[in-house]
Structure 1
Amino acid sequence: MSQLTPLERDILRACSADDVGLWEAVRHGQWNFPHASPDQIKEIVLSALRVLLTARLVDAGRSVARDNSYIRSDWRSVFGPGYDIVSWNLSAEQAIERIRREWDQLGGEPTIGDIVWFVSTTEGGRVLAEGKERNVLKETDT
């Protein structure tokens, strides 16, 4: 059975508490793997995000001014005064490809506001509230 790694759990917990920018996911990767190189951290973080996105425990999106009427009702998490997060509505693989491409274009480590934000989904919150880990591979293969 495939369980969430400590890094995946850390990112999911952070996403359930607040909107999490890519830079924060990188910090969690650095804390979990203090001796990894920047390139290794990138791959480690992208792998963790792929698992969370594939299992639909988190969703990826961007921040926008709250006056946009197309914001999904389940994305009412506040980025800051007057902002919400809007889903990219991409598959996990499409989201990871986009993140990787834009991260490569940065030429360095993402900082606050760069590329993407993540929020816990209803399912991600349920998994945390119940204190259990899912068999991610089994549940996402269906």
Structure 2
Amino acid sequence: MATAVQVTFDCADPARLAAFWAEVLEYVLQPPPPPYASWDEALDALGDPDEDRNSRSAVVDPDGAGPRLFFQRVPEPKTVKNRLHLDVRAAHGATGDERRQRLEAEAERLVGLGATRLRVSEPQGFSDLFLVMADPEGNEFCLD
């Protein structure tokens, strides 16, 4: 049996973070379970109270290849650097000026979605630079 992986984000606003990452990764919000036409309809049927409607959200790869990302509301804010982060492969295989241009263009798009650009990293001994970014809640990720 194959093992599936889900990446879970603790956050303050699951709907906002799910929408951000769906755009970044070209994912979609996970559809509601059948026979429901919307999440509100499904949650109404399950008796989910209105105050819990933004306590969780998920996005999925429409091709079914990538992992499901799950976002859950937690009461405490993020306080330290992530111990695990995502690498968004925006310039895979590109080098030199082409790599820099592709990363800069993608960084500009992500900043427009609510990301923050933190720094450019050009490690000694490596030819491939990458950008360190943060999502709208401050979770670091690399644009590489």
TM-score (norm 1): 0.28
- Structure with bigger strand share is 2
Q: Which has the higher contact order (CA 8 A, sep 6+)?
A: 1
Q: When you count helix as a share of all residues, which structure comes out higher?
A: 1
